[in-house]
Amino acid sequence: MNHHILYIIAAMAFVTTVVATPTVMAQNIQRTCNAYYEVRFIEIDHRNVTEDISTIFGQFLARGGCGSTVPNRCRRRARDAAHLCMQRHWQNLNIRYVPEECRTNGVRNYHIADLRQALTDTVCNFMSERNPDYHSAAVSVHAVTHGNKGCGPRENKRKTVELSGHYFIDCNR
């Protein structure tokens, strides 16, 4: 009889341990990457630029979610969402509204409705600050993400994708 009681106590202890112990699960987390457009000057007023001249505009944030054990996966998702947003907007340069890809999938604070005008304003204002006599430029335009590991390819912290290798802007228009 005492053996039965010991078995019952042992069984209760086992069940209590298994049932009462919380299951350890990876919590969901979010990580971010910063994103923006980078403009590199190739020519100003039809003269080749010999120094490295660039500026940025359209800064925003992208967030990606995942399990807590894989934070770089979160950043890769954020990076991919940011690049999809910028590439889609560049592909539809004539629209005057924020594309769907820039309003969903973790993209935050993307405020450019008219990308062509934002690019023109950025380039023309940048040039006029350097020299009011500048009137046109040829630029390359890049989509950039940066942050911690995962915001770039593999374990890198930065990813740059060329959207246009030679885009002409006339500030007199």
How many structural domains compose the chain?
A: 1
Question: Is 17 within the bounds of a domain?
Answer: no
Domain assignment present for residue 21? The answer is: no
List, for residues 52-83, the tens digit of each pLDDT value: 999 999 999 999 999 999 989 999 999 999 99
Query: Of 104, 139, 106, 144, nearest to 121 (Cα)?
Result: 139
Give the whole-angstrom CA distance, residue 152 versus residue 80. 9
Q: Is residue 123 part of a domain?
A: yes
Give domain status of residue 42, yes or no: yes
- Quick check: 143 and 35 in contact, CB under 8 A? yes
Provide the domain limits for residue 121: 28-170
Q: Please check whether residue 37 is in contact with residue 59, taking contact to mean a CB–CB distance below 8 angstroms.
A: no
Query: Which pLDDT tens digit goes with each residue over 7-48?
Result: 544 444 444 444 443 444 557 999 999 999 999 999 999 999
The answer as to whether 11 is a domain residue is no
Any domain includes 50? yes
Least confident of 60-64, 81-85, 117-121, 130-134: 130-134
Residue 35 resides in a domain: yes
